Structure 1
Amino acid sequence: MPRGTLEVVLISAKGLDGSDFLANIDPYVILSYRSQEHKSTVAEGAGSNPQWNESFLFTVSDSACELNLKIMDKDNFSQDDFLGEATITLDAVFDEGSHPETSYNVVKDKEYCGEIKVALTFTAERGGAGRDEYGGQEESYGGWNESARDF
């Protein structure tokens, strides 16, 4: 079970399909991992190829293994438009520690609608209380550990 910090560097997107016919889209991204959520700045007037270059940190404390990136278009006089989303499986990042800049497909209604580029780094929690002799997290089962040590 991985424990530590996941850093997500939101770099850019390209080829986003917008629904604003008369104006450029103003995209932003909602990044979510389990119950944690971050929102990027709005790339005003950036159109279908925005640049963000922003970093976000998530606390990893369980085996959840997906990061969701939801791309939205900021609208001033109506509800923001959903442009698409990308789901990133994190197993390889937890195993390897990092994943270089990579483009992921943005999908809306099962249709390709652009790409989003991110870099990922996982920093495992080191040492501390509750660790067993092998460096892993010690498990507690309501007294089982204590009684098992007596044998």
Structure 2
Amino acid sequence: MMIESGVMNITLEYAKDLKSGDWFAKQDPYCILRVGGQTFRTHTAKGGGRNPVWNETFRVNIMDENDVSLDIKDEDLGRDDLIGNASFSFSRARHVGNDRQEVAVFRPKSRKQHGFVSVSLKWSPHRVLVGMSQQHPQWAAAHFGGTLQQQICYVIAKAPRCQQQAAGVDDTSPLVYGNGIYQQQAQPPHLAAGQIAQAVVYQPVFAPLAATNKINATTE
């Protein structure tokens, strides 16, 4: 069964009772959030200690992903220490439209629970966003930024190339391939050089092109 695509607003509110590894000062926690191939980072809660507060929201383009992994780290001058790991699901939010969870945090080595993270979720299916933007373009521009032409498109790997050409798709156009946000590329990044993309059903995803809170996992 195909899961409906859409946009998930993920708010990392706060954590409580985390394990502290700093003996002489309060730790400075931040979170790294992974959803499929997308990675996001919160700001650092300076001096947050065992009970940091972030209240940071990420608008995440979702296709068939249903699970999230979370790393909580302590920002240091040298290497950032891993405080704990957590994971949670979008299932309830996708079913009823929203959800709030207290997600258990586990220590990386002992796997013992040490605290939790409070997470709030709000789900907006693409069919709703598309309908709203078509009926209220000024509302869409005010809430999501840019014109319809500047807003992000999804590419769903479904249609054969003949349908792609019939739809008038330009392979070199600066669109989005897969679930992440990429700059202009001649083909989807998951394909080796020379392969032809078996893709293309386009759906507008009303989010600004600039994703300032998106990071590359290799830069952690």
TM range (shorter): 0.7 to 0.9
- Partners of 2:46 and 2:75 lie apart in 1 by 8
CA offsets 1:31-64 (integer angstroms, 9 cap, x no match): 1101111110100111100111111111002x22
* Aligned: 1:16 with 2:54: no
One-letter identity of the residue aligned with 1:104? V
- Give unmatched runs, 5+ long, in structure 1: 129-138, 144-151
Residue 141 of structure 1 and its aligned partner are, at CA, apart by: 6.1
- Partners of 2:89 and 2:54 lie apart in 1 by 22
One-letter identity of the residue aligned with 1:20? D
- Partners of 2:159 and 2:47 lie apart in 1 by 55
Residue 65 of structure 1 and its aligned partner are, at CA, apart by: 1.1
Alignment of 1:1-150 (within 5 A): 1-61=3-63, 63-76=64-77, 78-100=78-100, 102-108=101-107, 109=109, 110-126=111-127, 142=160
Whichever structure has more helix as a proportion of its residues is 2
The count of aligned residue pairs is: 132
Say if 1:35 and 1:16 are closer, same or farther in 2 by CA, change over 3 A.
same
SS in structure 2 at match of 1:93: helix
- Partners of 2:122 and 2:36 lie apart in 1 by 17
- Partners of 1:52 and 1:140 lie apart in 2 by 38
Identity of aligned residues (%): 28
Say if 1:46 and 1:64 are closer, same or farther in 2 by CA, change over 3 A.
same
- Partners of 1:33 and 1:66 lie apart in 2 by 7
SS in structure 2 at match of 1:29: strand
What's the TM-score, normalizing by structure 2?
A: 0.56
What's the TM-score, normalizing by structure 1?
A: 0.80
- Give unmatched runs, 5+ long, in structure 2: 131-156, 163-220
Residue 2 of structure 1 and its aligned partner are, at CA, apart by: 2.0
SS in structure 1 at match of 2:93: helix
One-letter identity of the residue aligned with 2:85? E
Runs (4+) of structure 1 exceeding 2 A deviation are: 139-143
One-letter identity of the residue aligned with 1:82? L
- Partners of 1:8 and 1:104 lie apart in 2 by 13
One-letter identity of the residue aligned with 1:17? K
Which structure is higher in RCO with an 8 Å CA cutoff and minimum separation 6? 1
- Partners of 2:79 and 2:11 lie apart in 1 by 27
How large is the Cα RMSD of the aligned pairs? 2.1
Residue 96 of structure 1 and its aligned partner are, at CA, apart by: 1.5
Residue 92 of structure 1 and its aligned partner are, at CA, apart by: 1.7
